[in-house]
C-alpha cells in the first residue's frame, strides 16, 4: 500500500478539503486528487463523497480511517527503531546472572534513558559473527580463543578483570583456608560441567589448569549452578571456580566456603567488542562508562592467559 497516498487521505480528512490538504502537504490539488483516486482504486471502494464544498467520508472511508492512522504510526515507529539515538542498544552479556550482566545493569542505572536489548549468545564465535553482521552492537567476551583472531573492522578494550575464588563444601581439605595460591591446587579436582568445548571460558580454564597443574573435570551433565553447588556442598574432594562477583544464594545447611586465590590472583578478562564503524551514540556512552569505571589492569599480582590480551585493543 502506498503510504504517501494513505498520508494524503488522512490529511484530507484532517483538513476537511482537498485544497487545504494540498497546502499542508506542499503539493498541488491535482496531486492530492490523484493520490486519493489511486488509493480508492487499490482498495476497490470510494473513500470520500465529493460535494461542491468539503470532502465528506463515505462509510468505507470512515471504516478505513483508524487503520490508516495506525499504518502511519507504524511507519514512524519503524523509522524510529533504526534512527540513531532511538534504537535500543543490543548487547550480549553471555548470561544474565554473570558479572557482565551486572556491568550492563550499572550502565543502565547511570543512563536510565538509554534503551537496551540484552542478549545471551553462547560462545565467542557466535557473538563476534553477530557483531560483524550488525545484529548486535557489542558483546562482552574474553576476546577470542586460541587460534582465532579478532576480525578486521572490530575493536575491543578490556573492561573488567574478574577475580576467581575457590568454592568448597565444609568437608573439603581447604574449607578452613583464609586464602590459597593457585599452586596449592595442583593435582586437585575442580569440577566445572559447564565448560563446553570450543568456548572461550573452556579455553581459559584449560590454560589455567595447564599453568598450575590443576585438574579441570567437565564430565557430567550441566544442570546449572544450583546443582553444581548442591554436589560440592556434600563432597570432601570436589571444588569449583566461581567469580567474586557471581551472585549466589544457597541453603544455610550447605555451609559453602568462598576462598580467595592469591599470588597470583587468576582473573577472567572481560573485553567489550564492537564494530569500529558503529555510530550508535549509546555505544560510545557504554564504552566511556566501562572504561571510566575500570581501574586498569595492575602490572603484577594477577594471572590471565596470553591469548586473552586483545591484539587490536582500543587505545585509551
Same domain membership, residue 141 and residue 112:
yes
Q: Assign residue 78 the CATH number of its domain.
A: 1.10.10.10
Domain shared by 175 and 259, yes or no: yes
Q: Where does a domain end: 82, 112, 129? A: 82
- Could you tell me which of 128, 43, 90, 84 has the C-alpha nearest to residue 279? 84
Across 140-169, average pLDDT: 84
Q: Does residue 314 fall inside a structural domain?
A: no
In 59-191, at which residue ranges do the beta strands (DSSP E only) sit?
Answer: 89-92, 116-119, 138-141, 154-168, 189-191
In a domain, 315, yes or no: no
* Enclosing H/E stretch for 258: strand 257-260
pLDDT, tens only, 164-184: 999 999 999 999 999 999 999
183 and 277 both lie in a single domain: no
Tens-digit pLDDT profile for residues 70-112: 999 998 888 877 776 678 899 999 888 788 888 899 999 999 9
E-state strands within 38-178: 48-49, 56-57, 89-92, 116-119, 138-141, 154-168
**What contacts 210, CB < 8 A, 6 or more positions away?**
none
What's the pLDDT at 174? 95
User: If you write DSSP's letter for every residue of 264-286 in order, what string do you get?
Assistant: SEEEEEEEEEEETT---HHHHHH
- Enumerate residues 6+ apart whose C-beta is below 8 A from 126: none
So what's the pLDDT on residue 306?
Answer: 82
Number of domains in the chain: 3
Q: Tell me the pLDDT tens digit for each residue of 232-271.
A: 998 999 999 988 777 777 777 888 999 999 999 999 999 9
Instruction: Let me know whether 140 and 275 are in one domain.
Output: yes
DSSP strand pairing (257-260 vs 154-168) = antiparallel
User: Given phi > 0 = left and psi -120 to 50 = alpha, else beta, which region is 104?
Assistant: alpha
183 & 256 share domain: yes
Q: Which of 118, 119, 141, 116 is nearest to 128 (CA)?
A: 141
Q: Is the Cβ–Cβ distance between 168 and 184 less than 8 Å?
A: no
Range of the domain at 18: 3-82
Domain boundary among 31, 65, 82: 82
CB neighbourhood size of 106 (10 A): 13
Q: What sign has the CA pseudo-torsion 68, 69, 72, 74?
A: negative
Please indicate, yes or no, if residue 313 is contained in any of the structural domains: no
Nearest to 306 by CA among 146, 151, 141: 146
In the chain, how long is the greatest CA-to-CA distance?
A: 97
pTM of the entire structure?
A: 0.68
> Are the C-beta atoms of 17 and 55 separated by less than 8 Å?
yes
Cβ–Cβ under 8 Å, residues 3 and 75: yes
125 and 65 housed in the same domain: no
What is the CATH classification number for the domain harbouring 300?
3.40.190.10
Q: Is pLDDT of 315 > 60?
A: no
Q: What percent of the chain has pLDDT over 70?
A: 93
Residue where a domain stops, chosen among 82, 116, 141: 82
Looking at the structure, do residues 192 and 261 belong to the same domain, yes or no? yes
**Do residue 157 and residue 274 come from a single domain?**
yes
Q: Do residues 167 and 145 share a domain? A: no
Whether residues 278 and 153 share a domain: the answer is yes
**Of 247 and 146, the one with more pLDDT:** 247
Cβ contact 303:208 at 8 Å: yes
Amino acid at each position: 500500500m502506498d503510504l504517501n497516498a494513505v498520508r494524503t487521505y488522512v490529511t484530507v480528512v484532517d483538513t476537511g478539503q482537498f485544497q487545504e490538504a494540498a497546502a499542508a502537504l506542499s503539493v498541488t490539488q491535482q496531486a492530492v486528487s490523484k493520490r486519493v483516486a489511486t488509493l480508492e482504486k487499490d482498495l476497490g471502494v470510494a473513500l470520500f463523497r465529493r460535494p461542491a464544498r468539503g470532502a465528506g467520508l463515505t462509510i468505507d472511508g470512515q471504516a478505513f480511517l483508524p487503520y490508516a492512522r495506525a499504518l502511519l504510526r507504524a511507519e514512524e515507529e519503524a523509522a524510529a527503531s533504526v534512527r540513531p539515538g532511538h534504537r535500543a542498544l543490543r548487547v550480549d552479556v553471555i548470561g544474565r546472572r554473570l558479572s557482565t550482566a551486572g556491568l550492563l545493569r550499572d550502565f543502565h542505572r547511570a543512563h536510565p534513558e538509554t534503551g537496551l536489548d540484552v542478549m545471551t549468545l553462547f560462545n565467542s564465535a557466535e557473538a563476534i559473527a553477530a557483531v560483524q553482521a550488525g545484529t548486535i552492537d557489542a558483546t562482552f567476551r574474553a576476546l577470542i580463543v586460541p587460534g582465532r583472531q579478532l576480525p578486521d573492522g572490530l575493536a575491543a578494550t578490556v573492561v573488567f578483570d574478574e577475580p576467581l575464588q575457590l568454592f568448597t563444601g565444609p568437608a573439603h581439605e581447604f574449607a578452613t583456608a583464609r586464602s590459597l595460591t593457585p599452586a596449592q591446587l595442583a593435582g586437585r579436582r575442580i569440577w566445572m560441567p559447564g565448560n563446553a568445548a570450543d568456548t572461550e571460558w573452556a579455553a581459559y580454564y584449560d590454560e589455567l589448569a595447564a599453568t598450575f597443574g590443576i585438574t579441570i573435570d567437565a564430565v557430567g551433565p550441566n544442570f546449572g549452578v544450583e546443582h553444581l553447588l548442591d554436589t560440592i556442598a556434600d563432597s570432601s574432594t570436589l571444588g569449583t571456580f566461581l567469580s567474586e562477583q557471581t551472585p549466589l544464594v544457597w541453603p544455610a545447611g550447605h555451609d559453602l566456603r568462598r576462598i580467595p586465590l592469591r599470588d597470583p590472583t587468576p582473573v577472567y578478562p572481560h573485553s567489550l567488542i564492537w564494530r569500529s564503524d558503529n555510530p550508535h551514540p549509546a555505544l560510545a556512552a557504554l564504552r566511556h562508562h566501562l572504561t571510566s569505571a575500570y581501574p586498569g589492569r595492575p602490572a603484577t599480582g594477577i594471572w590471565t592467559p596470553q591469548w586473552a590480551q586483545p591484539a587490536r585493543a582500543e587505545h585509551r
